């Protein structure tokens, strides 16, 4: 979600790559739905892990910043980047998975997460290009 929103709002002015502690490959349907509401297409996006990031040739030392959205990803990012000169920021964002019992409740949880990410992006990098 964060990668898609960043690219939508700020274009190609920076290189963005999203990774997680584990790779589920398929993006959650609720994530796709709430991002479509704001014009961000994620249906072809695939998640990957930190290990896959390295395997696919991305050199962590070439990044300036890692933004972690969960305590687990923050721990892994700090561990993996301890020998590199780059910043790791932790943004405590709501994890919507498992919240709500009805479809509408689940969508509302995902919207809250999306909106939290948007607010953090705007706080960090200013208003979007849109």
pLDDT at 70 over 90: no
Q: Is the pLDDT of residue 23 over 60?
A: no
Could you read off the pLDDT of 81-127 as tens digits, one per residue? 888 888 889 999 999 988 999 999 999 999 999 999 999 999 999 98
Give the residue ranges of DSSP H helices in 61-102.
Answer: 71-80
- Is 31 a residue whose pLDDT tops 70? yes
DSSP state of 60: G
pLDDT of residue 112: 97
Query: What class, spelled out in words, does domain 2-125 have in CATH?
Result: alpha beta
The residues spanned by each domain of the chain are 2-125
| Distance from C-alpha of 24 to C-alpha of 67, rounded to nearest angstrom | 19
Distances from the Cα of 95 to the Cαs of 22, 44, 59, 64, 110, in angstroms? 15, 21, 28, 25, 8
């Amino acid at each position: 979600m964060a990668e898609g929103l960043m690219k939508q709002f700020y274009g190609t002015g920076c290189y963005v790559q999203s990774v997680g502690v584990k790779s589920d490959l398929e993006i959650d349907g609720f994530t796709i739905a709430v991002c479509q509401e704001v014009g961000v297409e994620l249906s072809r996006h695939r998640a990957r892990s930190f290990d896959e990031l390295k395997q696919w040739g991305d050199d962590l030392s070439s990044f300036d910043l890692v933004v972690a959205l969960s305590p687990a990803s923050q721990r892994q990012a700090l561990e993996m980047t301890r020998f590199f000169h780059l910043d790791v920021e932790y943004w405590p964002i709501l994890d919507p998975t498992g919240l709500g019992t009805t479809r509408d409740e689940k969508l509302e949880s995902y919207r809250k997460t999306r909106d939290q990410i948007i607010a953090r992006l705007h706080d960090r990098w200013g208003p979007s290009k849109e």
